[in-house]
Amino acid sequence: MTDPFASIPVTGGGGLPGARHLEGRVVIIRPVRVDETTLAFNKKDSAPTVIADIIVVDGGDLVYGDLVNNSGQQLKPPTHRVSTPAMFTGWMDSHAHIVNPCRDMLRAGQPVTVGIIERGTQGNKPYFLTETHTDVNRKPRTDPSYAQRRQNAIDLWNAFQTGQWSPPTPVELNPTPVPAAQPAASAWGASPGAAPLGNPAATPWGQPVAQAAPAGWGAQPSSPPAGPPQRDLSVPVPGLEQHWALGTEQQRRDAWRVYDETHPAPAAQPVAAAQATPWG
């Protein structure tokens, strides 16, 4: 028996595209489940999330992995590009007008559907999963190209089902350089051939330093550099308040990481030396 609570493996590289990356594209969605327990960022309001497999049928190259704020300012550049059609498993979304039709499908036993990701025209303009023959305002689409795009999706799905189409692999746009191999360390931690250190001793981080004179009573012990601040993920990054409730926990964590990297804390001011007491 299939475990309905099992984790869904994620494929696609560099995380997953959001609804804004898919706007205007025809997509094939196969919902796996709707998690009714997920909450909005205020930790109070319900924000169900659909977990699905999604095939992006058209729209040309898909570039994703970036982060923007409410004003459209880019906080993080795109990380990946993939040609379409492309497929992502374990795709997640919390927009109500995308979650609701997927929930209805699961209840009705409908395994898969085709539609278009579109943005609304009223209120805060949420994203919708619309039909290929009616737009976001429920008006019929008169352009004959939409019927052809739907047929393209049907043909692609059949090709996928019969093994005649395999999804492409995303390309990393800014791959992390592989560090050069370091020469083997000697017994004292120095590279072979390097000038010997005078009576070296390892610090708490494993770097050899020259042995210092014994510290006095009031000397402060060395300490590791401060790491990034621990952020409350229910608090939005400045400029992302409008979209904060729609992001996943990892997206929120990435947003704060980018913010902290671009807004470093001011360096601590040196404190004048004071006479140490026997108790420090």
Residues 6+ apart with CB under 8 A from 85: 55, 56, 57, 58, 156, 165, 167
Question: pLDDT tens across 12-66, in order?
Answer: 555 799 999 999 999 999 999 999 999 887 788 899 999 999 999 999 999 999 9
Question: pLDDT tens across 184-228, in order?
Answer: 444 334 444 444 434 433 333 333 333 334 443 344 444 455 556
CB 27 within 8 A of CB 56: yes
Provide the pLDDT for residue 121: 93
Question: pLDDT tens across 66-78, in order?
Answer: 988 877 888 899 9
What is the pLDDT confidence band of residue 85, given thresholds at 50, 70 and 90? very high
Could you tell me the CA-to-CA distances from 87 to 22, 49, 58, 259, 261 in Å, in that order?
A: 12, 19, 11, 30, 32
Provide the pLDDT for residue 266: 62
Question: pLDDT tens across 139-181, in order?
Answer: 999 999 999 999 999 999 999 999 999 999 999 998 766 666 6
pTM to 2 decimal places: 0.62
Q: Is the peptide bond before 167 cis (omega within 30 degrees of 0)?
A: no
Work out the average pLDDT over 266-270: 55
Residues 6+ apart with CB under 8 A from 224: 204, 205
Provide the pLDDT for residue 228: 63
Q: Rounded to whole angstroms, how far apart are CA atoms 32 and 89?
A: 10
Neighbours of 229 (CB within 10 A): 9
Q: Rounded to whole angstroms, how far apart are CA atoms 236 and 265?
A: 18
